[in-house]
Amino acid sequence: MKNIIIFLLFSNSTFAQKKADKKDWITIFNGKDLSGWDIKISGQPLNDNYKNTFRVENGMMRVMYDQYQNFEEKYGHIYYKKPYSYYIVRFKYRFQGNQTPGGASWNVRNSGIMLHSQSAQSLTFNQTFPLSLEMQLLGGLGKGERHTGNLCSPGTQAYMQGSLRPVHCIDSDSKTYDGDQWVNAEAIVLGDSVVHHVINGDTVLTYNKTQIGGGFVDDKQGWGIAKMDDAAIEAWKKKDGTALKTGYIALQAESHPIDFKNIEILNLEGCTDPKALSYKSYFIKSNKSACRYKKRKV
The pLDDT tens digits of the residues spanning 3-51 come to: 334 444 444 333 344 454 566 899 999 999 999 999 999 999 999 999 9
Nearest to 149 by CA among 178, 181, 111, 123: 111
Tell me the average pLDDT of the chain.
86
C-alpha 149/C-alpha 92 separation (Å) is 12
Q: What residue ranges do the domains of the chain occupy?
A: 27-273
- The 10s digit of each residue's pLDDT in 244-268 is 999 999 999 999 999 999 999 999 9
- The 10s digit of each residue's pLDDT in 197-209 is 999 999 999 999 9
Nearest to 253 by CA among 151, 134, 145: 134
pLDDT score, position 115:
98
Query: Model pTM?
Result: 0.86
Percentage of the chain exceeding pLDDT 70:
80
CATH 3.30.2350.10: does it fit domain 27-273? no
DSSP assignment of 159-208, as one string?
EETTEEE-SSEE---PPP--TT--EEEEEEEETTTEEEEEETTEEEEEEE
Q: What are phi and psi of 277, to 5 degrees?
A: -85, -20
